[in-house]
Amino acid sequence: MNVPFLDLRAAYLELRDEIDAAVRGVLDSGWYVLGGQVRLFEEEFAAYCGTRYCVSVANGLDALFLALKGYGIGEGDEVIVPAHTFIATWLAVSRTGARPVPVDVRADTFNLDPAGLEAVIGERTKAIVPVHLYGQCADMDAITALADSHGIRVIEDAAQAHGARYRGRRAGSLGDAAAFSFYPSKNLGAYGDGGAVTTDDEALYERLLALRNYGSVRKYEHDDLGYNSRLDEIQAAVLRVKLRRLDEWNARRARLARRYAALIDMPDLQLPVVPDWAEPVWHLFVVRSGRRQQYREWLAARGIDTLIHYPVPPCRTRAYAADYADCRMPRTDSLVDEIMSLPIGPHMDAAQVAQVAEGLAGLDRQSASG
Ligand SMILES: *Cc1c(COP(=O)(O)O)cnc(C)c1O
């Protein structure tokens, strides 16, 4: 039996009747952009996250970019980002004209280390973008306390953390604003691209409504140089169906994560570290080992898919390397050579988890027997 990294087709099949009806309903309605489905999804997702407002947009990168833009961030400004994240976190900052300023991550949780913030906050710093990496919230109290004392914004990158909790509060409600992605493989995924910003800030909400729609709230009145970044009605209708399943599907991921933790017991494999204030949603299950390559090849030979999130930190990519040649991020630079993501998802079962754990143990036994 093969173990795929994530089975998106099984997710569709479980909800097929409801999804098909939702899509057909939009097609039948004759209204395809900025209509009732989008409005309802925004209300429901804001309520889910525990915020007053939600503005849906075209994708997660746009959600981050528009939130920064909505706060007036641009040329000459600096925005603090984690050194270890998906490159979109950085690209959103660069697109505003501001400079991404990296802070190293913690060696245990792989999330932004609040202890590194003070040293890089300066005159030009306008915001911090903590990432809730792999579905586990960053240490937000430490981050927001420091941001408040310096009068700078906190914009969560919650693209991997739909439903995650920090001290009981949901991701998306922990800073000034938060950006979500509904890319198909995220915990709440559409059948195409999608994204959203959640916030309690009414002024930001109003600006985002205009920015996503040519700078216009009323037809042919344009107050800003806006963009076209909208979630379409079909994706909104799909997301409304899937939002009703999000907690249950996240609970299935959490059960699998507990199985992994119970079954994997190897001295050279570090399991995910979960602080007592965190309730992660296990977007990814990432382990760490100095023998990563051996483990990956061994599992691949047994039909088990693994991936690396992410092999190259943004500042070491060709897109950024020239500008960040003197960037020292020792914890990030060492972890990217050792992390690997094991299969996890709402349509994986306990037998498959056992198969992955057994696979890992097999390499260990083989090495022990020489
Ligand atoms: C997926 C992702 C994004 C970007 O979302 P898209 O919808 O693909 O544009 C941003 N940040 C993180 C951490 C992500 O995982």
Q: Which of 65, 89, 134 to mutate to test the pocket of ligand 1 (most atoms within 8 A of CB)?
A: 89
Measure the CA–CA gap between 323 and 49, rounded to whole angstroms: 37
Residue 364, pLDDT score: 82
Atom number in ligand 1 closest to CA 61: 9
DSSP string computed for 212-263: TBTT-SSTT---S---B---BHHHHHHHHHHHTTHHHHHHHHHHHHHHHHHH
- Binding site membership of 93 for ligand 1 (Cβ less than 6 Å): no
Residue 76, pLDDT score: 98
Residue 224, pLDDT score: 82
Which stretches of the chain drop beneath a pLDDT of 70?
370
H or E segment and range at residue 65: helix 60-70
Measure the CA–CA gap between 299 and 362, rounded to whole angstroms: 9
- Binding site membership of 131 for ligand 1 (Cβ less than 6 Å): yes
Atom number in ligand 1 closest to CA 182: 7
Residue 223, pLDDT score: 83
Nearest CA, atom 7, ligand 1:
60
Residue 128, pLDDT score: 98
Residue 366, pLDDT score: 85
Q: Report CA-CA distances (Å) from 276 to 28, 157, 320.
A: 48, 21, 35
Measure the CA–CA gap between 171 and 213, rounded to whole angstroms: 26
Residue 165, pLDDT score: 98
- Segment 206-256, tens digit of pLDDT: 999 999 999 998 888 888 899 999 999 999 999 999 999 999 999 999 999
Amino acid at 213: N
- Binding site membership of 116 for ligand 1 (Cβ less than 6 Å): no
Atom number in ligand 1 closest to CA 64: 10
